[in-house]
Amino acid sequence: MSVNKGLIIEKTSDYVRKKLGGEVTGHDWWHVYRVWKTAKYIARREKADLFVVQLAALLHDIADWKFHSGSETIGQRLAQEWLEKLHVDKAIISHVCEIIKEMSFKGAGVKSKMRTLEGMAVQDADRLDAIGAIGIARTFAYGGHKGREIYNPNIKPQRHTTFEQYKNSKGPTINHFYEKLLLLKGRMNTKTAKRIAEKRHKFMEQFLERFFREV
């Protein structure tokens, strides 16, 4: 059976848009849209498989563990079910689900490595959307949703050494910059993403400098 890749991408983007539209924590359709576009940009320059990259980018947050009782498998399961409905090749489904499984940042002291170039492109795109101006906005949106303090000088940032520690962290939003966001520049996989990350990282440093001056 011949596969119309363009139609599959179109149906998948429609599916995700309907599922995540109006979400308010920064993990909404527009986050996915930015990751999708950035991942394509990276994939073209790094010579990655665009079909796999687009499917993984579109489906990477279809069921984030943060909103499903910490489940690390629900996102992969929903992605697999959706792609099977569209009769996507099993090898591609497996590749997309592997990328989704390995996508998340799991703590400052936790090492995780993407196996494929496609996974690296999607992970980089997702991480780029977590830094810079948009990353700052998303961080405070999520912190507010979780009922976290903006800043508390008596609660210091932690270096989480396990995914469980990271998942269960309830520290102030400002701490998240030191526990994750400022680390992402050094964890980009591709040359393309590393270049983009430089300016976004610098902007976060400027924001924090101004924040503490005002504090």
The number of beta carbons lying within 10 Å of the beta carbon of residue 36 is: 25
CA distance 73 to 52: 19
Question: Is the overall model pTM greater than 0.85, yes or no?
Answer: yes
List, for residues 65-88, the tens digit of each pLDDT value. 444 444 567 788 899 999 999 999
Contact present, 12 and 93 (Cβ < 8 Å) = no
**Residues whose CB falls within 8 Å of the CB of residue 66, separated by 6 or more in sequence, listed in order:** 25, 27, 167
Contact present, 173 and 151 (Cβ < 8 Å) = yes
pLDDT in the model for residue 58: 97
Where are the alpha helices (H) located in 114-157, listed in sequence order?
A: 117-128, 132-145
pLDDT in the model for residue 94: 95
Instruction: Locate 158 and state its tokens.
Output: 């932690």
Residues in the chain, pLDDT under 50: 1, 65-70
CA distance 78 to 75: 5
Angle between helices 5-20 and 29-46 (to 10 degrees): 150
Instruction: Locate 165 and state its tokens.
Output: 């520690």
Length of the chain measured in residues? 215
**Residues whose CB falls within 8 Å of the CB of residue 2, separated by 6 or more in sequence, listed in order:** none
CA distance 191 to 180: 20
Q: What secondary structure letter does DSSP report for 150?
A: S
List, for residues 83-116, the tens digit of each pLDDT value. 999 999 999 999 999 999 888 765 555 567 788 9
pLDDT in the model for residue 177: 96
pLDDT in the model for residue 148: 93
Among the four given CATH numbers 3.40.50.720, 2.40.110.10, 1.20.20.10, 1.10.3210.50, the one describing domain 5-214: 1.10.3210.50
